[in-house]
């Protein structure tokens, strides 16, 4: 592909095993009690593949429910926003993105796509496939964390920009992280720009827990893979056999909490971070929260940050929500 159609920026040391500028969050999480790890470390090449498998699981409803909403309303999104550059946070396989690209293409708008993902392999592969399928598309990918990639956005030649964040990835942020995230987003958007947000909605505990404890054990493999990723990236020696997957719905916080539960006492060394951590048998380490939201509360929260909801859509079961906001 020509330089004009495909450019991919690798930011900092996003894909290198020994990094000087990351790992601080790992040290922070592992020296706190209870221990925790940041969910972005799920997504090495293998982790991104496992996540794609999760999206196909019968119990994991969010992906197909959100896709169903997009299938129905992507044209409305495109008609609301007019021509705009599409910036996606956590683009992964860009499967749902195609529904938006189709809609913008049908309106006759130019197609500019800026995928952002921590996993370079999946971003590069998905971008190339998109370029084959959309001959007029231009892709400018950024491999790195949301924060780093967003700070590198260059002015768009199109009249507007829409940043979109699908799949309830926002649910990974604790409230304070969420506030900081929106500070960055609203600082970047120009007046009239758009933000499109997919949120998973509150629903009975049984449905939620089944989605994160699938019968084929893919979610368990995804959770454990974070340790393999850390072993590779930080020269670690986590013994994956000593941990098991746990996922529970914390009703009072309205969030799924995913843990790695240590079965046997274990001393772990992460050489490139010069970090040694002791795990006790029976100890649980938090690897992910996935908050579940309510459309009205989210609209109110966004409004407080200067983002006005122009339209909110949901599916027939009201399991998932899609909010189009304008600043
Ligand atoms: C990509 C963060 C939205 O929270 O549902 C799926 C990740 N973890 N199964 C989610 C995930 C376990 C997912 N997000």
Q: What is the ipTM of this complex?
A: 0.99
**CA of 51 relative to ligand 1 center, distance in Å:** 8
Atom of ligand 1 nearest to the CA of 256: 4
Q: What distance in Å separates the CA atoms of residue 136 and residue 29, rounded to the nearest whole number?
A: 44
Residue 288 near ligand 1, beta carbon < 6 Å: yes
Q: What distance in Å separates the CA atoms of residue 111 and residue 109, rounded to the nearest whole number?
A: 6
**CA of 2 relative to ligand 1 center, distance in Å:** 35
Q: What distance in Å separates the CA atoms of residue 101 and residue 74, rounded to the nearest whole number?
A: 9
Name residue 116's beta-bridge partners.
89, 142
> Is 77 a residue whose pLDDT tops 50?
yes
Which is nearest to 136 in space by CA: 108, 117, 158, 162? 108
Q: Which two tokens stand for residue 65?
A: 């429910």
Q: What distance in Å separates the CA atoms of residue 32 and residue 27, rounded to the nearest whole number?
A: 9
Average of per-residue pLDDT values in the chain:
95
Helix (H, G, I), strand (E, B) or coil at 154: coil
**CA of 54 relative to ligand 1 center, distance in Å:** 9
**CA of 211 relative to ligand 1 center, distance in Å:** 9
Residue 171 near ligand 1, beta carbon < 6 Å: yes
Q: What distance in Å separates the CA atoms of residue 243 and residue 270, rounded to the nearest whole number?
A: 17
> Is 16 a residue whose pLDDT tops 80?
no
Per-residue pLDDT of 62-71, as tens digits, reads 999 999 999 9
| pTM (2 d.p.) | 0.95
Residue 47 near ligand 1, beta carbon < 6 Å: no
Per-residue pLDDT of 281-293, as tens digits, reads 999 999 999 999 9
- Specify the residue with its C-alpha closest to ligand 1, atom 14: 169
More confident residue, 15 or 131: 131
- Quick check: 201 and 82 in contact, CB under 8 A? no
Length of the chain: 327
Atom of ligand 1 nearest to the CA of 222: 12
Name the band, by pLDDT with cuts 50, 70 and 90, for residue 20: very low
In 10 A of CB 254, how many CB atoms?
Answer: 17
Contacts of 272 (CB under 8 A, 6+ apart): 17, 18, 23, 233, 234, 235
- Quick check: 62 and 69 in contact, CB under 8 A? no
- Specify the residue with its C-alpha closest to ligand 1, atom 13: 169
* Residue whose token pair is 């592992």: 30
- pLDDT score, position 15: 52
Residue 214 near ligand 1, beta carbon < 6 Å: no
Angle at alpha carbon of residue 229, lines to 64 and 223, rounded to 5°? 45
């Amino acid at each position: 592909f020509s330089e004009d159609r495909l450019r991919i920026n690798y930011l900092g040391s996003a894909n290198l095993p020994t990094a000087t500028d990351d790992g601080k969050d790992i040290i922070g999480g592992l020296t706190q009690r209870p221990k925790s790890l940041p969910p972005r470390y799920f997504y090495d090449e293998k982790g991104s593949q496992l996540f794609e498998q999760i999206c196909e699981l019968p119990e994991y409803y969010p992906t197909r429910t959100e896709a169903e909403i997009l299938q129905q309303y992507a044209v409305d999104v495109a008609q609301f926003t007019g021509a705009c550059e599409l910036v996606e946070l956590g683009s992964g396989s860009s499967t749902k993105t195609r529904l938006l690209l189709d809609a913008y293409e049908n309106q006759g708008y130019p197609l500019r796509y800026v995928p952002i993902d921590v996993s370079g392999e999946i971003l590069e592969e998905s971008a190339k496939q998109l370029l084959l399928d959309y001959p007029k598309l231009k892709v400018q990918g950024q491999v790195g964390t949301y924060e780093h990639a967003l700070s590198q956005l260059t002015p768009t030649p199109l009249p507007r920009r829409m940043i979109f964040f699908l799949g309830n990835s926002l649910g990974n942020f604790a409230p304070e992280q969420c506030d900081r995230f929106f500070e960055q987003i609203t600082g970047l958007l120009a007046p009239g720009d758009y933000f499109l947000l997919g949120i998973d909605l509150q629903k009975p505990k049984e449905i939620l827990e089944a989605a994160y404890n699938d019968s084929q054990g893919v979610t368990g493999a995804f959770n454990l893979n974070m340790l393999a990723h850390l072993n590779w990236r930080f020269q670690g020696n986590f013994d994956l056999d000593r941990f098991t997957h746990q996922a529970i719905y914390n009703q009072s916080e309205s969030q799924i909490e995913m843990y790695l539960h240590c079965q046997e006492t274990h001393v772990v060394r992460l050489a490139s971070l010069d970090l040694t951590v002791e795990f006790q048998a029976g100890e649980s380490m938090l690897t992910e929260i996935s908050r579940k939201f309510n459309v009205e509360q989210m609209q109110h929260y966004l409004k407080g940050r200067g983002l006005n909801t122009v339209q909110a859509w949901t599916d027939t079961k009201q399991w998932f929500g899609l909010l189009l906001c304008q600043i």
